[in-house]
Chain A
Amino acid sequence: MTAFFVRRLLLTVPVLLGVTTLVFSLIHLVPGDPVQAMLGDSASPQDVAEMRGRLGLDRPLYVQYGSFLKGVTTANLGVSLRTNQPVTAAIAERVPATMELAAAAMAIAVLMAIPLGVIAAVNAGTTVDHAATTVALAGISVPGFWLGPLLAIVFSVVLGWLPVSGRGTLAHLVLPAITLGAPLAAVLARTTRASVIEELRELYVLAARARGASRERAVVRHAFRNSLIPIVTVLGLQFGAVLTGAVITETIFAWPGVGRLLIQSISFRDYPLVQGCILLIAVTYVAVNLLTDLVYGFLDPRIRYH
């Protein structure tokens, strides 16, 4: 068990190093001179030279890389070009809003998906199953950047029930959380359906029925419990989609999280802040994937011996 955990942790190190290197290289991918791109064509050569020095872009590449890696390990990613605020502080201010939105979206997804998936599985092959499967596939196909504005039109503009943007009350959270949670719910419902169907074919479910357990009890207490492992895994793996979806959802609903900060930084060509946001989202994703793998290894002993 310990060996599995250590091996999995060690495998994450090169991935994190690769992610950091790619994020570091972003600024060097800017066509032409990145400093000129940030300051615009009207900037004087003195301003350009001053900014180049401020960002450390006048130093050799390996020195810049070393300095970036050191900055990552000490949570010092430079300062925002627009506000002069340290990048880590600017991001830290926005993290709670994104976490709140992500948690609410995942909760909504679980509450919607699991009953839908179980009902579809129990009624596999019937009209109920086809309807549930179609709803789930439609959920995957409707992009957040359309669902969000549609919900805003119906619930904010037409009905006037919910605020269209901002953060503060629980009412502000509803539309962004549904927008972000719906595609996740669709994926989760499909996984739940497939997983429960798989378990329902197992002999232990038949044995439970033979011992006199009701159909509901066989499904809920036996099949569903065992089908939770893939469901939990998919939930973990889908966290990445939630993080990317948050960039779009936060932009639609003016939700003051890391995703909106990223898009604002891009429009201001505030590259240190762009790098910081991208790095944070990618590292969070790697960490959640690692955690999912560890939990999976803990739940299913077969994984540890692979």
Chain B
Amino acid sequence: MLKTGGAIVLLAAAAALFGPALTPFDPVSQELALRLAAPTLSHPFGLDELGRDILARVLAGARISFLVGVTVVSISASLGTVLGAAAGYFGGLLDDAIGRAIDILLAFPGLLLAIALVAVLGPSLVNVLFALTIIGWVGYARLVRGQVLRVRELEYVQAARAMGARAPHILWRHIIPAAMPAVVVQATLGMGGAIVGEAALSFLGLGVQPPSPSWGTMLNGGRAHLLDAPHLTIFPGLAIAALVLGLNFLGDGLRDATDPRRNT
């Protein structure tokens, strides 16, 4: 599972990185005479409603997906780790304040808050990144807070405290590293979540705006052509599903590999 997931994600990352070299077509240049043309040897995924090469757009879309996944996960995981560690270690008012913020954000199911935020801020890639980060950090904070509560009373942490180590040092050197395996698993699964989140928002017309080739925007464009050009829907969706499946395989594999109960 770990290897399969890793292979799929590496393949998708390579496609995102070297995409433009893999196809002679530009993702935004139009050939109106060939609009909605079915897949052929020269255009293996066919052309879209404006005569743009779908393979070139799927490859360019991989860049947007990775950009969203990596950005959202990096900021959410860093913010969530710091806030969760501080809440768990210091307790008291800080813990209460962070805990209430987490409770309120978790009261909005899934993407709903992201939809609400993008609805008022306006559709754009930056607002999508902001909205997904706002809902993203909560999971990490809750996870790390729980881990810190478990670790902070362990002997090696008490020993560090007795030796006069300051709180930031103890958190950075002793406590946060103990929470890292769980954070890495969450980040892998969270990257899939962020990619689907961006695609969902773009599909609803609230995310990346045309002509940028986001996979969600492409699926949104395909809705009007289910009858006459299903390839507009099939290929971008396949790309999302494959990458998210790869990330889920990788996350599950990492979880199993880092779960002490599985190794005993």
Query: Which A residues lie at the B interface, using CB under 8 A?
Result: 14-16, 18-19, 22-23, 26-27, 29-31, 34, 137-138, 140-143, 145-146, 149-150, 152-153, 156-157, 164, 239-241, 243-245, 247-248, 251-252, 262-263, 266-267, 271, 274, 278, 281-282, 285-286, 289
Contact = CB atoms under 8 A, between A and B. Distances in A.
Given A29-B121, A145-B219, A152 B107 contact: no
Which of B112, B192, B233, B237 gathers most chain A CB within 10 Å?
A: B112
A137 B121 CA distance: 34
A281 B112 contact: yes
Interface in B89-135: 100, 103-104, 107-113, 115-117, 119-122
A138 B219 contact: no
Contacts of A19: 104, 107-108
Q: How would you classify the secondary structure of chain A's contact residues: helix, strand, loop or mixed? A: helix
Contacts of A251: 204
A19 B199 CA distance: 26
A81 to B, nearest CB: 14
13 contacts: A18-B103, A26-B119, A137-B249, A141-B241, A143-B240, A146-B237, A164-B226, A243-B109, A247-B115, A247-B204, A266-B115, A282-B109, A285-B107
Contact of B116 (A26, A31, A150, A245): A26
Interface of B: 100, 103-104, 107-113, 115-117, 119-122, 192, 196, 199-200, 203-206, 216, 219, 222-223, 226-227, 230, 233-234, 236-238, 240-241, 244-245, 248-249, 252
Contacts of A34: 120
Contacts of A164: 226
B42 to A, nearest CB: 24
A143 B248 CA distance: 13
A278 B107 contact: no
A178 to B, nearest CB: 16
A152 B245 CA distance: 22
B100 A31 contact: no
B142 to A, nearest CB: 14
A257 to B, nearest CB: 14
Contacts of B108: 19, 22, 278, 282, 285
A248 B203 CA distance: 9
A260 to B, nearest CB: 11
B36 to A, nearest CB: 14
Contacts of B245: 137-138, 141
Which of B107, B216, B226 gathers most chain A CB within 10 Å?
A: B107
Given A29-B121, A141-B248, A152-B226, A263 B204 contact: yes
Contacts of A149: 219, 222-223, 226, 233, 237
B241 A146 contact: yes
A244 B109 contact: yes
A30 B120 contact: yes
Given A141-B244, A149-B223, A271-B120, A15 B109 contact: no
Given A19-B107, A31-B121, A281-B112, 13 more contacts: A31-B122, A141-B248, A143-B240, A143-B244, A145-B200, A145-B203, A146-B219, A146-B240, A150-B237, A157-B230, A248-B203, A278-B108, A286-B107
Contact of A153 (B103, B107, B219, B226): B226
B109 A241 contact: yes
Contacts of A18: 100, 103-104, 107
Contacts of B109: 239-241, 243-244, 281-282, 285
B67 to A, nearest CB: 18
Which of A138, A142, A156, A241 gathers most chain B CB within 10 Å?
A: A142
B193 to A, nearest CB: 10
A146 B233 contact: yes
A164 B224 CA distance: 12
Nearest to A143: B196
Contacts of A15: 103-104, 107
Given A26-B116, A29-B117, A248 B237 contact: no
Contact of A150 (B100, B199, B203, B233): B233
Nearest to A146: B237
Contacts of B103: 14-15, 18
Nearest to A186: B248
Nearest to A16: B107
Nearest to A152: B226
A252 B238 CA distance: 17
Given A18-B104, A19-B104, A153-B226, A266 B119 contact: yes
Nearest to A244: B110
Nearest to B220: A145
A204 B70 CA distance: 47
